[in-house]
A = this chain, B = another copy of it.
Amino acid sequence: MFSDRQQQIIDESIKLIDTRGIQGFTIKNLSKKVGISEPGIYRHFESKFAILSAILDSFKRDIFENQALSLNNANDPLVKLKSFGDKIFEIFVHNPALITVIFSEEIYMNEKQLSYRIKEIQTFNENLIESLLIGLRRDKKLPDHVNIGAFILMFFGSIRLLAKKWKMSDYSFDIKTRGDELLSSLLDIIK
């Protein structure tokens, strides 16, 4: 899909956006990081837009494969939910820079094509969780007082916020531990 050089450019772009924001994501800064000249970048991507687009493609592929996989590993919906959350934190631990890139819709706000892609990924994830909860409700295994829409907001909202806090604290705590704590509190709600 992407050549080695292209993947390198994508990786450095993500790091650059993470550390210096969209404003720091310039072709000049990027070329320094990659170690080639500015026009050299354009040998591998036709525009800055194309790089952002590739970042989203690359991430989308990752998450679709990973999540689909983790959901097929169990039968119990609660176990699925837990492993879904675990997987998210695993991805963040493995590539913290992604937190900024996928939770900062503002980065893509000038490009409708890109913001649509971000929305698509979010909707995909929410639908996964929603169908799990609807299944539980059908089987009368979800307490009556649980509001599915509200739970989904709590689920993704708290995970996002924890990840952002982790990043803003310079990764000063163990997100795996705190994530486990959070996930078990979330699961408590629907037990």
Task: List chain A positions with a Cβ less than 8 A from chain B.
Answer: 20-24, 100, 104-107, 109-110, 115, 119, 145-147, 149-151, 153-154, 156-162, 164, 168, 178, 181-182, 185-186, 188-189
Select one of B105, B146, B188 contacting A168, CB under 8 A: B105
The complex places the Cα of A13 from the Cα of B57 at a distance, in Å, of 33
List chain B residues, Cβ under 8 A from A186.
150, 154
Query: Which residue of B is nearest A149, CB measured?
Result: B181
The complex places the Cα of A23 from the Cα of B20 at a distance, in Å, of 13
List chain B residues, Cβ under 8 A from A158.
150, 153-154, 157-158
**CB contact under 8 A between A181 and B100, given known A23-B23, A107-B106, A157-B157:** no
Interface of A is mostly: helix
Report the minimal beta-carbon distance from A119 to chain B, rounded to whole angstroms: 7
Report the minimal beta-carbon distance from A32 to chain B, rounded to whole angstroms: 17
Select one of B20, B106, B110, B147 contacting A181, CB under 8 A: B147
Is A21 touching B157 in the complex (CB atoms < 8 A)? no
List chain B residues, Cβ under 8 A from A107.
21, 106
List chain B residues, Cβ under 8 A from A20.
109-110
Is A150 touching B106 in the complex (CB atoms < 8 A)? no
List chain B residues, Cβ under 8 A from A109.
20-21
Report the minimal beta-carbon distance from A145 to chain B, rounded to whole angstroms: 6
The complex places the Cα of A156 from the Cα of B24 at a distance, in Å, of 29
CB pairs A–B below 8 angstroms (18 shown):
A20-B110, A21-B109, A21-B110, A22-B22, A22-B23, A22-B106, A23-B110, A104-B106, A146-B185, A150-B181, A150-B186, A151-B185, A153-B158, A153-B161, A156-B157, A157-B157, A157-B159, A157-B161
List chain B residues, Cβ under 8 A from A119.
168
Is B21 touching A106 in the complex (CB atoms < 8 A)? yes
The complex places the Cα of A23 from the Cα of B24 at a distance, in Å, of 11
